[in-house]
Amino acid sequence: MLSVILGRVRLALDDAAADSPLGESLREIQAAASRSADLTRQLLAFARHQTAVPQVLDLNQTLENMLKMLVRLIGEDIDLVFTPAPDLPSVLMDPSQIDQILANLCVNARDAIGTQGGRITIETGFSQFDQKYYQDQPGVVSGDFVMLAVSDDGCGMDEEALQHLFEPFYTTKDPGAGTGLGLATTYGIVKQNQGFINVYSEPGSGTTFRIYLPAQRGVAPSQTEPTVSAKDTGG
Summarised one tens digit per residue, pLDDT across range 105-122 is 998 899 889 878 889 999
The superfamily (CATH) of domain 55-216 is: Histidine kinase-like ATPase, C-terminal domain (3.30.565.10)
**pLDDT above 70 as % of the chain:** 78
Short-list 221, 210, 203, 214, CA closest to 95: 221
Within 10 angstroms of residue 179's Cβ, the number of other Cβ atoms is 18
d(CA 92, CA 144): 13
Q: Taking CA 149 as the corner, what is the angle to CA 211 and CA 162, rounded to the nearest 5 degrees?
A: 70
- At residue 233, the pLDDT reads 43
Give the model's pLDDT for residue 226.
41
Q: Provide the pairing of β-strand 78-83 with 55-57.
A: unpaired
For 19, 74, 172, the CA distances from 113, given in Å and listed in that order, are 37, 10, 14
**Length of the chain measured in residues:** 235
In the predicted model, what is the mean pLDDT of residues 115-144? 77
What gap in Å lies between CA 187 and CA 46, rounded to an integer?
8
Numbered ranges of CATH 3.30.565.10 in the chain: 55-216
pLDDT band (50, 70, 90) for residue 207: very high
DSSP code at position 177 = S
Given a cut of 60, whether residue 227 has pLDDT beyond it is no
Q: How far apart are CA 88 and CA 75, in angstroms?
A: 29
- Per-residue pLDDT at 43 exceeds 50: yes
